[in-house]
């Protein structure tokens, strides 16, 4: 196994770089099938939105534990640092975890992060010993400040939540990767992934992983899409480490010009 086939995330060593969100799936059975197909080892659960009366009559938490999947509670639905901190503390007590995906939304129309409240909550939760994985925008300066505030992972959105627009600003993602690498902080692209090529593109930019939900849960065939995402992330990750050829303005023959059997004749 190559050294880059595993990565460390908040005290866990993972072999899958795909994290799957549970929001939007039609049933717990479908969620289980998708998890098996993509082999994700981490799944997020929105603490403010999930109820135990899930479709299908099964308990989501029990299913995740049976599969050996790490549960990453998130604070989706929170609009203030105060609400997010309280939600994270409740998750820590209920699930006996020191993990939280910190998500604070500015408004319900754009679902974009409120970075002011995010930084405040990240600083407060990190000071209590929580491992904060911070969902943010694609601003490298905000990423730098989140690292200073104690975030153990930076999770920039590729594009707004649920849009499926893919990576709108790849240059900024590369800047965030470079900044985070200096501090040995993993980067996980989160939100906006629409299909497998988007996930591969994210990995080719050098991120450590991809968290997606709608791309699988709202696909026509969630299990097939989950399977596709698994392979896309593996392919993108290996492509990044392989080192792509530089882009060129003009064509360049793949075979050498030297040693040809005959020379071109100029008439």
Active site (annotated) includes residue 101: yes
Q: Does 213 belong to an annotated binding site?
A: yes
Rounded to whole angstroms, the Cα distance separating 244 from 32 reads: 36
202 neighbors 167 (Cβ within 8 angstroms): yes
SS (HEC) of 159-210: CCCCCCCCCCCHHHHHHHHHHHHHCCCCEEEECCCCCHHHHHHHHHCCCCEE
**Angle formed by the axes of helices 60-67 and 28-38, to 10°?**
20
Looking up tokens 């709608």 gives 214
Tell me: is residue 214 an annotated ligand-binding position.
yes
How far, in Å, are 86, 148, 206, 209 from residue 140 at the CA level?
Answer: 27, 13, 15, 17
Q: Is 192 annotated as a binding residue?
A: yes
27 is in an annotated binding site: no
Q: Which phi-psi region, left, alpha or beta, contains residue 35 (left: φ > 0; alpha: ψ -120 to 50)? A: alpha
**Given CA atoms 211, 73, 62, 220 in this order, what sign does their dihedral have?**
negative
Q: Can you give the C-alpha Rg of the chain in angstroms?
A: 21
Q: Which of 58, 101, 230, 263 is catalytic?
A: 101
- Positions marked active-site: 101
Binding residues for 1-deoxy-D-xylulose 5-phosphate: 162, 191-192, 213-214
């Amino acid at each position: 196994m190559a050294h880059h086939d595993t990565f460390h995330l908040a005290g866990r060593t993972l072999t899958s770089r795909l994290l799957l969100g549970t929001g939007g799936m039609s049933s717990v059975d479908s969620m289980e099938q998708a998890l098996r197909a993509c082999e994700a080892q981490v799944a997020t659960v929105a603490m403010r939105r999930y109820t135990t009366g899930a479709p299908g009559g099964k308990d989501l938490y029990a299913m995740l534990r049976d599969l050996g999947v790490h549960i990453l509670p998130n604070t989706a639905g929170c609009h203030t640092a105060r609400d997010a901190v309280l939600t994270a503390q409740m998750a820590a007590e209920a699930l006996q975890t020191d993990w939280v995906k910190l998500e604070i939304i500015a408004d319900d129309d754009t679902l974009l992060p409120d970075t002011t409240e995010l930084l405040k909550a990240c600083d407060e939760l990190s000071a209590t010993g929580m491992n904060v994985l911070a969902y943010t925008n694609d601003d490298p300066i905000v990423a730098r400040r989140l690292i200073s505030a104690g975030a153990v992972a930076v999770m920039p959105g590729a594009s707004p939540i649920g849009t499926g627009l893919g990576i709108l600003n790849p240059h900024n993602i590369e800047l965030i990767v470079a900044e985070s690498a200096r501090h040995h902080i993993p980067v996980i692209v989160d939100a906006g992934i629409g299909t497998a090529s988007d996930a591969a593109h994210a990995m080719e930019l050098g991120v450590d992983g991809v968290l997606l939900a709608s791309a699988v849960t709202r696909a026509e065939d969630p299990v097939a899409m989950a399977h596709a995402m698994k392979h896309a992330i593996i392919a993108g990750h290996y492509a990044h480490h392989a080192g792509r050829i530089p882009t060129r303005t003009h064509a360049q023959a793949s075979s050498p010009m030297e040693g040809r059997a005959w020379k071109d004749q100029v008439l």
